[in-house]
Chains A and B, each alone.
Chain A
């Protein structure tokens, strides 16, 4: 039942993927900009059960992996996002203090984005990728956190609306 509902979310993620690739990457936002798909996947996971969170991470990770700008091997982002989305869903599941308060979700997602990128970076280093200077990495991570904290509140209500329509009204904020 949940799995079937999960597949209903595919058009939403595909639209976000297209938006990311065709619009967000054009804007050349300062401080590295934002990855909309990453933020949406983590918010979606924060509103879901851990199983759906992991599946969300798997789907969104695959989309990020097929993106031409992904430097790592196929499956690199998938692995990172399965873990990140599962962890966020696990932290929020059954705890209304987290799930009932949008500020907590935004905080969790912002931390999640930085953590996911850090894990991606570490995994990339293990796979032999060049990652650049420490100052540049710190700048990009800070930029990601900044943009996530700005964008998340703007899209949280919309994502919550779609999530509630697919998985039931309990998850609506």
Chain B
């Protein structure tokens, strides 16, 4: 027998739908109680998330190794030769080293620019079910973190603090579709607006259509008034392709973010920008080719032994 419904059931559905619409209206009108609900929930959830992060850490490391099987094959072959205890120790060490490397990178970047930063560990990555890109960090208002502060990794921009709670903060990643930042191209100083696209690729829209953008151009944050939400000079990414369609109103370019958002472990929140604009000083150096050692052997017939002459070629 199919369900036909009755008056009481219909009334219940109507009441529930109206309630949800009422909640949407209240929230869009900025009623404080609704904001308080989310803040309260997050404050209560932070210790649980920290415990969860600690619990899930071994499984997450394992999953990460499986996901990056191709890249870590040699390392994994080496590890399989060792016993279980050594493997566990090595994995723990790997995690600590990766975090240390990220921390060194971020401190180097912040130190060069003269930013005052608060370091934080990523304790949760937001669900993408709602089509957003966020992370939760373990530093909040008690550490001086406030909303609208720039968040960095060792490679450059990570995002911006969206909400700050007592002991944690929600960071909107630069890859979030709603994320927008004023950017300038290092060297030429052309300015534009960079938008997140939900992936590691962003789209730069230049404000002046007569200027030229080239593949490989480096993008830096243009900065905001009083350094919030964005401090100036933070490296964002590199232009990977340029759309030069004739007749287009604005010139656009695809940009690859320097930061890999899926491997974030340690980040830094800029609590105070430098007194002077670092200009282009944070542009990452171009990779230099490593000298390849070669050995030339001269073989002389009848000689007793060959004389190797090492040379270095670039």
- Which residues of A does B touch, CB under 8 Å? 18, 20-30, 32-35, 38, 49-51, 54-55, 57-58, 61, 65-79, 82-83, 86, 90, 93-95, 117, 120-121, 124, 127, 129-133, 136-137, 140, 143-144
Contacts and interface: CB of A to CB of B under 8 A. Distances in A.
Secondary structure class of chain B's binding surface, majority of residues: helix
Contacts of A20: 127
B37 A26 contact: no
11 contacts: A21-B52, A23-B55, A25-B127, A26-B123, A55-B12, A71-B131, A75-B24, A86-B13, A130-B195, A132-B198, A144-B129
Given A22-B45, A74-B38, A144-B129, A132 B19 contact: no
B45 A69 contact: no
Interface in B10-55: 12-13, 16-17, 19-28, 34, 37-38, 41-42, 45, 48-49, 51-53, 55
A124 B52 contact: no
Kindly list the 6 A-B residue pairs having the minimum CB-CB distance in the complex, ordered from nearest.
A75-B23, A22-B52, A132-B198, A132-B177, A136-B198, A73-B27
A3 to B, nearest CB: 9
A33 B134 CA distance: 14
Kindly name the residue among A22, A29, A78, A133 whose own CB sees the greatest number of chain B CB atoms within 10 A: A22
Contacts of A90: 3
Contacts, number: 183
Interface of B: 1-3, 5, 8-9, 12-13, 16-17, 19-28, 34, 37-38, 41-42, 45, 48-49, 51-53, 55-57, 59-60, 63-64, 67, 123-132, 134, 136, 163, 165, 170, 176-178, 195-199, 262
A93 B3 CA distance: 6
A63 to B, nearest CB: 9
Nearest to B169: A68
Contact of B37 (A61, A74, A82, A131): A74
Contacts of B178: 71, 129-130
A86 B63 CA distance: 36
A54 B170 contact: no
Contacts of A117: 129, 131
A46 B136 CA distance: 33
Given A67-B38, A130-B195, A140-B129, 7 more contacts: A21-B49, A23-B55, A54-B12, A57-B16, A73-B23, A82-B16, A129-B178
B130 A69 contact: yes
A19 B198 CA distance: 25
Contacts of A23: 52, 55-56
B129 A38 contact: yes
Contacts of A32: 127-129
B147 to A, nearest CB: 13
Nearest to B39: A68
Nearest to A78: B20
Kindly name the residue among A70, A132, A137 whose own CB sees the greatest number of chain B CB atoms within 10 A: A132
A162 to B, nearest CB: 21
A81 B63 CA distance: 31
A71 B132 contact: yes
A20 B3 CA distance: 33
A167 to B, nearest CB: 16
A85 B23 CA distance: 19
A57 B16 CA distance: 9
A21 B124 contact: yes
Given A82-B17, A94-B2, A69 B134 contact: yes
A133 B124 contact: no
Contact of B132 (A58, A69, A82, A133): A69
Contact of B131 (A29, A58, A132): A132
B3 A69 contact: no
A55 B13 CA distance: 8
A21 B12 contact: no
Contacts of B197: 132-133, 136
A28 B20 contact: no
